[in-house]
Amino acid sequence: MSTRKQVVAIAWCAITTLTGCQKQVETQQPAVPAAAASAAPEELKPIAGIQDVMAHMIDPAADFLWESVSTTVTKGRVDEKRPLTDEQWSAVRGQAIILTEGANLILMTGRHVVKEGGKLEDHGTPGNLSAEESEAAIKTDRATFVAFAEALRDVGVSMLAAADSHNPQAMLDAGDDMDRVCEGCHLKFWYPGQKIPPFPDEAPEVDVQ
């Protein structure tokens, strides 16, 4: 066989081998259904109600964060609680993440106040809205609801930064902001007619005859 024929033969064998390898790789790859390959990504689908996210994520996280840096006065004794170790600050950081992402979850379009057929906590309490009334209030003034949720998310971001820098005072400041945000949202969309008695030092003086 001439040298030229040998080169052609070797090249042909190489092409045949590569083609066979390519087919083998293709057969080993899992088949992708045509519909799945061409379809757009699925949109997020809310399952739990806003009340569920509040009860199981936001409320527990908020309570943990409030209590992590606190001052309690009992019978003249002052008890100050602060995270002291890296492990304790890491726990604070974890709850700040839950609070922040929980605020994102209640912002999702299509999430109802409660699951279908459910009722709001303390349903029937004078001054409280029903689930249907709360849903209507949010729908009517969604911009305000979004503003409250975004403010709560911002509080979570502040607490996350405070945890990363091990800054108790920043936690206290963010805790005050969280209290105002939560109470403002609840008064608007949960219990707008509820009469909350003032603290003893805020109660008006009564002239007793």
* Model confidence pLDDT, tens digit, residues 45-76: 999 999 999 999 999 999 999 999 998 888 88
The ranges assigned to domains in the chain are 50-194
* Model confidence pLDDT, tens digit, residues 118-157: 899 889 999 999 999 999 999 999 999 999 999 999 999 9
How far apart CA 170 and CA 21 sit, in angstroms, is 62
Mean of the per-residue pLDDT values of the chain? 83
**Mean per-residue pLDDT for 40-46?**
77
Decide if 111 contacts 105 (C-beta within 8 A). Answer: yes
Q: Which pLDDT score, from 0 to 100, does residue 71 have?
A: 85
How far apart CA 53 and CA 207 sit, in angstroms, is 46
Q: Which pLDDT score, from 0 to 100, does residue 56 have?
A: 97
Give the residue, 35 or 71, on which the prediction is more confident: 71
Q: Which pLDDT score, from 0 to 100, does residue 201 have?
A: 55
In CATH, the number for domain 50-194 is: 1.20.120.10
On whether the pTM is more than 0.75, the answer is no
